[in-house]
Amino acid sequence: MALKRKSKQFKWHHKHLLGLRELSAEEITYILDTAKGFEQISTRSVKKAPPLRGKVVVNLFFEDSTRTRNSFSLAANRLSADIIEFTKKDSSVSKGETLLDTARNLEAMGIDIVVIRHGAGGAPRFLSRNINACVVNAGDGFCEHPTQGLLDTYTIRKIKGTLEGLKIAIVGDVAHSRVARSDMWAMTKLGAEVTFVGPPTLMPTEVSRLPVKVSYSLDEVIEKVDVINMLRIQFERLGGNPFPSIREYSHYFGLTVERMKKAKSDILVMHPGPINRGLEMESEVADGRNSVILEQVTNGLAVRMAVLFLVNQAAAQTK
Amino acid sequence: MKIILDSNQIEQILGDLTSSIITDTPPDLDIAVIGIRSRGEILAERLSERLSKELGKDIPCGTLDITLYRDDLNSPSGNTQPHVRTTEIGFDIDDKIIILVDDVLYTGRSARAAMAALIDLGRPRAIKLAVLVDRVGREMPIHADYAGYKSDAAPGKLVQVNLVESDGKDEVVIE
């Protein structure tokens, strides 16, 4: 109950959430603290609160998504916003409309928040500079997936108490992973040591400039880490032949029951979903006692409610 | 700055509020105390302790964060930003007499928000409002069922409740 009336209160002023790279540790912590207040909405008899009543949220998804899109929809619903679902398949984008035209047309209908997922890195930032609505990045190219980074960090903080001093491995297809990048920014800013693990062909080219360690051997890393986040192999993005065979990849970088025997007993096993069972992770591990994969999904809802609430607040303050 | 209540007077008021609540409530009904963050939370804890002692049974106590129910969330107020915190009510509020506790009753807007928030948590038998300071300046049709000190402080004045747990000492001041 540490409240000091006279202490200067932190003020959130971002009406867009574009990435975690540009946020300070204090701002990230503030989102996580705010998310805590939203958790109980999902557990009570009326699973709804009124702060976004009369606001319109658009889910503008140019790439497939189930979890993230549903999570944002439900978060918006729980805050009493109205929601428009927009997917590339059944829209005028298939008739050749540009991103900006699509967004401006939606804005002309009086929307307040755009949640965008786009294959091109930087698309959310481009949009934020050209429309008045709040923009929330739900994944752009290989750049960022800030709400996933936040919910992963939230899940770790909730169980471990703090990120400070934790050793965290992010394993697999790092090159094609915006989750890995958002995780890295949030987790290192909050004081964790992050190691990217995977074959050299799946490491990002800019890795030497990032605040992470790199390892090409999961066996060397597994016994030292407190948290292991297994990325999905993104077959839809893989070009060329980054590894000789799926079996070989699994053998070296899959999280197997055998490999888990070397891990700390309280290691947290995470996965951003959807899981390729038996490829990056064996089913027994995904469903095992160290797995927090479903907690990640639950926490994602609270984190997204917090983000929608905060960007809307910032917009209200700058009106 | 003028002190309008010192720690002895605050203790006295909490004692009086406790007796009034007990006198009012039929003994067969369940009472629970819920404080509005942040000073109401502390006062609620103290009231529930007193009630538990007097009634010889455990009176549950919870904390309500009303931020999401405020009526000024979308009206730019400039310098203040609402901070969402947790609601911690570890019991079922259905069919209970809820004693809603706040430090100061002024415009009535917090009490309105708190009632909306409570009703989303269940259906209490009744909600009663208990406050340490009942100040003139209502903007909503709301009144306190149990009020300690009545203040006619002018609209521009700040009536501030300080409590040991949060501020180091018990006192109510007008600035």
Identify whether B166 is preceded by a cis peptide bond (ω within 30 of 0): no
Checking if the pLDDT of A162 tops 80, the result is: yes
Checking if the pLDDT of B77 tops 70, the result is: no
pLDDT of residue A7: 43
pLDDT of residue B81: 79
Q: Spell out the residues 6+ positions from residue A80 whose beta carbon is closer than 8 angstroms to its own.
A: A48, A49, A50, A51, A52, A53
> Which candidate from B76, B83, B120 shows the least CB-CB separation from A46?
B120
Residue B175 domain flag:
no
CA atoms within 13 A of residue B56's CA, in its CB half-sphere: 1
Checking if the pLDDT of A5 tops 80, the result is: no
Distance from CA of B27 to the nearest CA of A (A): 28
pLDDT in tens, A108-139: 999 999 999 999 999 999 999 999 999 999 99
Average pLDDT of span A62-72: 93
pLDDT of residue A75: 98
Disruptive mutation site among B36, B61, B67, B73 for chain A (greatest number of A CBs within 10 Å)? B73
Domain extent, residue B115, equals 10-70+84-152
Chain A residues closer than 8 Å to B84 by CB = 34, 37-38, 306, 309
Starting at the earlier edge strand, list the strands of the sheet with A227-230.
A213-215, A193-197, A167-171, A227-230, A268-270
Q: What is the mean pLDDT of chain B?
A: 94
Checking if the pLDDT of B121 tops 70, the result is: yes
Touching check for B149 and chain A: CB below 8 Å? no
> Which candidate from A12, A40, A45 shows the least CB-CB separation from B81?
A12
Disruptive mutation site among A4, A6, A43, A44 for chain B (greatest number of B CBs within 10 Å)? A44
Disruptive mutation site among B43, B92, B120, B161 for chain A (greatest number of A CBs within 10 Å)? B120
Checking if the pLDDT of A91 tops 50, the result is: yes
The dihedrals phi and psi of A90, each to the nearest 5 degrees, come to: -105, 50
B108 — alpha (psi -120 to 50), left (phi > 0) or beta?
left
> Cα B130 to chain center, whole Å?
6
Distance from CA of A256 to the nearest CA of B (A): 38
Residue B173 domain flag:
no
Residue B77 domain flag:
no
Chain A residues closer than 8 Å to B117 by CB = 49
pLDDT of residue A217: 97
Residue B25 domain flag:
yes
Helix (H, G, I), strand (E, B) or coil at B160: strand
Checking if the pLDDT of A2 tops 90, the result is: no
Residue B52 domain flag:
yes
pLDDT in tens, A286-312: 999 999 999 999 999 999 999 999 999
Report d(CA A73, CA B46) in Å as an integer: 41
Residue B167 domain flag:
no
In this complex, do A40 and B86 lie within 8 Å of one another by their Cβ atoms? yes
CB B102 within 8 A of CB B36: yes
pLDDT of residue B78: 53
Touching check for B158 and chain A: CB below 8 Å? no
Instruction: For chain A, give the percent of residues with pLDDT over 90.
Output: 82
Checking if the pLDDT of A45 tops 70, the result is: yes
CATH number, domain with residue B56? 3.40.50.2020
Q: How far is CA A314 from CA A16, A33, A37, A256, B80, in A?
A: 9, 17, 18, 45, 12
CB A316 within 8 A of CB A113: no
Residue B165 domain flag:
no
pLDDT of residue B151: 95
In this complex, do B81 and A319 lie within 8 Å of one another by their Cβ atoms? no
pLDDT of residue B74: 81
In this complex, do A313 and B85 lie within 8 Å of one another by their Cβ atoms? no
A11: nearest CA in chain B? B81
- Sorted by where each starts, the structural domains of chain A and their CATH numbers stand as 25-144+300-317 (3.40.50.1370), 146-296 (3.40.50.1370)
Q: What is the mean pLDDT of chain A?
A: 93
Number of domains in chain B: 1
pLDDT in tens, B80-119: 778 999 999 999 999 999 999 999 999 999 999 999 999 9
Checking if the pLDDT of A96 tops 90, the result is: no
pLDDT of residue A10: 83
> Which candidate from A5, A51, A317 shows the least CB-CB separation from B81?
A317
Chain B residues closer than 8 Å to A26 by CB = none
B39: nearest CA in chain A? A3
Burial of B158 (0-12, 13-18, 19+ CB in 10 A): exposed
Report d(CA A238, CA A251) in Å as an integer: 19
Disruptive mutation site among A45, A53, A79, A80 for chain B (greatest number of B CBs within 10 Å)? A45
How do beta strands B2-5 and B171-174 pair? antiparallel
pLDDT of residue A8: 53
Report d(CA A45, CA A58) in Å as an integer: 27
Query: Where do the DSSP E strands lie in A143-271?
Result: 167-171, 193-197, 213-215, 227-230, 268-270
